[in-house]
């Protein structure tokens, strides 16, 4: 089994990557393979609304990293979406990615059906729930089972590394990883 993490942050190895790796630690303890894609400075082009993807299972725009990331998401058993909070919601790159992925899946139903998913956000102050909600709505609308944790899946911090001081947030990320692993195993017929 494999979980693909998609980090929508413009900052590679920043707070969003740190919290996603906390989730991955628990998955790896449960012998679940992980891979983290970080958008970093790569710009994801927005959906053009052309609907040429219908029946093709891929987007026709090939001048960014979208297609490689999307195909890995289709192949994975689980999806972990992560974004910092910008203007009380997800990053522009994550928004563009989800819009394009949403159209490809809407015109090719079932590509993400029955996968396990979760969303996490690195938050300075407010907007964390909006960010989590935006990403979770994408997952729910594509028939992905959402794993939860003991609290909202966000960790507080502004500067890189600040999230390491949010003890409750850190516990929540580790618990989320444990819950994703349990759900993946249950859905794949493992005794849990």
* Domain of residue 111, CATH code: 3.40.50.360
Res. 192 pLDDT band, cuts 50 70 90 = low
In a domain, 158, yes or no: yes
Whole-model pTM over 0.85? yes
pLDDT (tens digit per residue) in 153-185: 999 999 999 999 999 999 999 999 999 999 999
Res. 5 pLDDT band, cuts 50 70 90 = very high
Give the CA-trace dihedral at 149, 93, 76, 1, to 10 degrees. -40
Query: For the chain, how many structural domains are there in total?
Result: 1
In a domain, 192, yes or no: no
Task: Give the 3-state secondary structure of residue 88.
Answer: coil
Cα(69)–Cα(93) distance, rounded to whole angstroms?
13
The mean pLDDT of 6-15, rounded to a whole number, is 97
CA atoms within 13 A on the CB side of 113: 6
In a domain, 169, yes or no: yes
> Pick from 19, 11, 37, 4: which is nearest to 149 by CA?
19
The boundaries of the domain holding residue 117 are 2-187
**What angle separates helix 167-187 from helix 15-29, to the nearest 10 degrees?**
40
Q: What is the DSSP letter of 191?
A: -
Residue 75 to residues 1, 35, 188, Cα–Cα distance (Å): 10, 12, 15
Asked whether the beta carbons of 162 and 15 are under 8 A apart, the reply is: yes
């Amino acid at each position: 089994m494999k979980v693909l993490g998609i980090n929508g942050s413009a900052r590679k190895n920043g707070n969003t990557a740190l919290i996603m790796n906390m989730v991955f630690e628990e998955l790896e303890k449960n012998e679940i393979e992980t891979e983290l894609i970080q958008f970093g400075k790569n710009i994801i082009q927005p959906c053009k609304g052309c609907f040429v993807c219908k029946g093709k299972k891929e987007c026709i725009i090939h001048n960014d990293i979208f297609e490689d990331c999307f195909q890995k998401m289709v192949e994975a058993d689980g999806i972990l979406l992560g974004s910092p909070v910008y203007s009380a919601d997800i990053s522009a790159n994550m928004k563009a990615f989800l819009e394009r992925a949403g159209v490809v899946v809407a015109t090719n139903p079932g590509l993400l059906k029955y996968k396990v998913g979760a969303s996490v956000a690195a938050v300075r102050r407010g907007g964390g729930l909006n960010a989590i909600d935006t990403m979770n709505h994408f997952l729910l609308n594509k028939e992905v089972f959402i794993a939860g944790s003991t609290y909202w899946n966000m960790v507080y911090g502004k500067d890189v590394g600040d999230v390491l001081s949010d003890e409750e947030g850190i516990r929540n990320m580790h618990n989320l990883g444990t819950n994703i692993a349990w759900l993946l195993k249950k859905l794949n017929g493992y005794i849990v």
